[in-house]
Structure 1
Amino acid sequence: MRATAVRRTALAASVASLTLLATACGGSSDSDGKGGANGAGSGDKGGAAPKAAVKTLTAAELEKASLVQGDVKGNKIAKAGPDDEVKADGVKVDKKECEPFAHAYLGVKQGEPVARTQRTAVGEPKKTGKGTSLEDLAEMPEGDAEDAFSAAFDVTSTLVSLSSYEGQGAPETLAGVRESAAKCTGGFTIVMDGDTQKIAALTEEKVTGGDEAIGWTVTSESDGRKIPFKLVALRRSGTLATFVSFNLAATSDKGAAGFGLPTAIVAAQSQKLS
């Protein structure tokens, strides 16, 4: 199993899918965002453009801006529990330069935000028109049963973390994540709670939203099997949002063809932060 906060979120999706099997017997910027992130984190003081003022959300304002049930169609939104929170001191990364990215990937608090919230978004299983009870699966031809089983587990879980910063905290934190990713595209290793997770590769993806945003496919490797995760980091003024997604069906040989960046969740959260 994955040594990440998303592993725990994915477990919730797994439980939901197993329940289904048992009971269903019947104004954005371009994603490159180079101006804001690189300017905030480069430390170049010669001729640099003035840094834009940012709004720091209070704890109450951040809570109000966080996703709630009904904000994203087809997703069940809930407050993250204690098991979804990962502490920085419990995470070890074999390459120091990869630590900022690893922390964003795990939903770890970075820097000193004045307020922070976390939400889980679990997608609804796709309906196939075929029975998904254990009895139905047992009676299906092998190919149909495999397709039905994969469909039941084609559930994407996303951990959404919001952090509100004073001053240039949000731009600088996002710049740090971006720079860390650029140095670690070839992979790194995370050790957390005694579990080791190998990140084999990072691939940048196009995403828009907020004042600047960037996304990646994070390829994890375990026992020779490559498993994709998705990570989006988005900044709106003084608030940094990260979205880490995992799809249960994507771990199978057939995979999940529709598993992409959590664009609907990102769009809904960006809108609430505007």
Structure 2
Amino acid sequence: MRITARATTVALLPALLFAAVGCGSTDTPATGKAPAPSGSAASGAPGTGTSAGTSTGAASGAPAAPKTGATKLERASLEQGDLPGYQISSQSNPNAPHGQPQADKKACQPLADAMGDKPDPAARESVNRGIGSQRQVGLAVAATVSSYSESDAKRLVSRLRQAITACGGGFSATIEKQTGSYKDVKAAEYKTGGDESVSWTTTAVAGDTSAQVHLVVVRQGGTVVRLTALNVAAAGQKAQVPQEVADKQLEKVKRAG
């Protein structure tokens, strides 16, 4: 089954769409081997000349071998083959808005930053991945790993906690002249590793379209992991970042050092 997100949802969730659009999904649970990726999941990162679905790890279901000359963040990021039952893509969606959404309320800007494909300006480097579940039809997760100074990383998590409290009633954000609103911002319980973490849910709304979104941000030293999940097949359904995705991502961050 192929999942396609509606254009209004693209405007609301720019970072998530490179995970949701083009990542294949199946109606039956995946076996140990992941089917060959399709759409954006079939293409490697721009400029690499390789396919995310053609490495030995991807074909066998075993974790992909570290890339020669990869940066620390690239080594810390998920690759096809790291998670059985999921397709992982490094290819962005050219039809999705890119950049930092601008919130209508200053106190809510940290939450708006978390919805874009580029984190706040304090981030020194970021690597994005799109993850499509082959076990739960329509479940898509965007994963971003960013490097900060440790003090900036701590400040980011603190600002997110403050923003969740301040923006419970909602806020609007604009990116590339497209505006969406985020309602019912609520802190959510979520167990994960790392030095500290924060998790929340919100309802993204544009026109007559709405989507239930779950976000998790984890700090490990000066590295920050951002995970965003929704169901692109049934956007109104409650979504949650799968525990195995968060655990594997944190495992790779710790292993990368």
The corresponding residue for 1:61 is 72
The corresponding residue for 2:187 is 204
| Alignment size in residue pairs | 202
Segment of structure 1 superposing worse, 201-210 or 110-119: 110-119
The corresponding residue for 1:248 is 232
User: Does structure 1 residue 92 correspond to structure 2 residue 75?
Assistant: no
The corresponding residue for 2:248 is 268
1:189-231 per-residue CA deviation (whole Å, 9 max, x = no partner) reads 1122232211111121112221111211111234455420111
1:66 is displaced (CA, Å) by 0.9
Aligned mate of 2:148, from 134, 156, 165: 165
1:270 is displaced (CA, Å) by 0.7
The corresponding residue for 1:113 is 123
CA RMSD of aligned residues (A): 2.7
- Gap regions ≥5 residues in structure 2: 1-7, 29-69
Q: TM-score, normalised by structure 2?
A: 0.70
1:77-114 per-residue CA deviation (whole Å, 9 max, x = no partner) reads 121426467323xx332111111111112232213333
Q: TM-score, normalised by structure 1?
A: 0.66
- Gap regions ≥5 residues in structure 1: 21-58, 127-153
The corresponding residue for 2:138 is 155
**What percentage of residue pairs aligned between the two structures are identical?**
25
Aligned mate of 1:71, from 58, 82, 85: 82
Segment of structure 1 superposing worse, 104-113 or 174-183: 104-113
Amino acid at match of 1:76: Q
In the alignment, is the contact (CA less than 8 A) between 1:228 and 1:250 conserved in 2? no
Instruction: Decide which structure has greater helix share.
Output: 1
1:5-52 per-residue CA deviation (whole Å, 9 max, x = no partner) reads 223432224xx359x9xxxxxxxxxxxxxxxxxxxxxxxxxxxxxxxx
1:169–1:246 CA distance, 2 compared to 1 (3 A): same
Higher relative contact order (CA 8 A, sep 6+): 1
Larger Rg: 1
- Please give the residue correspondences for 1:96-245 in structure 2 after superposition, counting only pairs within 5 Å: 96-124=106-134, 126=136, 154-207=137-190, 208-224=192-208, 226-245=210-229
Q: Distance in 2 between matches of 1:228 and 1:238?
A: 29
DSSP 3-state at the match of 2:173: strand
1:263 is displaced (CA, Å) by 1.9
